Chains A and B, each alone.
Chain A
């Protein structure tokens, strides 16, 4: 297991289009997190799952955003009707509930909305 994988690495889309990102966590990790990071800022929490259950969603996650983790393995984050303000780095992380080993992050998906 080589860590947390995110796909694609970069995505350029036109305003109003829908986009979907994928995250594959470390296989034995039961928690999966999505964060958003804009230039010069620290990552902001969006949502997280324990297995297939979505346990918490941030107020940042508007109705245009939806996340799923079917079967408790990989996760997808979909943004509908993208806006220029959605341009950011979307980061995925995973961990064990027993957080003795901390959180492992993926390389991120850079979204640019034009």
Chain B
């Protein structure tokens, strides 16, 4: 059974800091890995999708890496802003279009 763990559970940083969120998974047989953002009481917004054959993906100030063999992914946020405050979730499917297994998320607070 796939298990996904996210560390830390919560993180508070001053504005402008660079930060790293971690995601680990127990079964390396994944099709891809997706990072989401969730604002309080809202749905999930996709941030980055990394296919299993890729090592990293970048979008603006966000960079996600994937090391499938070691079961790890990181989400790097550069020059954090108060608007980045949210919960960040990673999720993996075993095969194309199959169910996602989620971590419990990292709650990020960026203080002005």
Q: Residues of A at under 8 Å CB distance from B?
A: 6, 31, 33, 35, 40-45, 48, 50, 56, 89, 91, 93, 95-108, 110
Contact = CB atoms under 8 A, between A and B. Distances in A.
Contact of A103 (B4, B51, B100, B105): B100
A33 B31 contact: no
B96 to A, nearest CB: 4
Instruction: Give the interface size bracket for B toward A.
Output: 20 to 34
Interface of B: 4, 31-32, 34, 36, 41-46, 49, 51, 89, 91, 93, 96-97, 99-105
A108 B43 contact: yes
A102 B32 contact: yes
A100 B105 contact: no
Given A103-B34, A105-B36, A45 B43 contact: no
Nearest to A47: B99
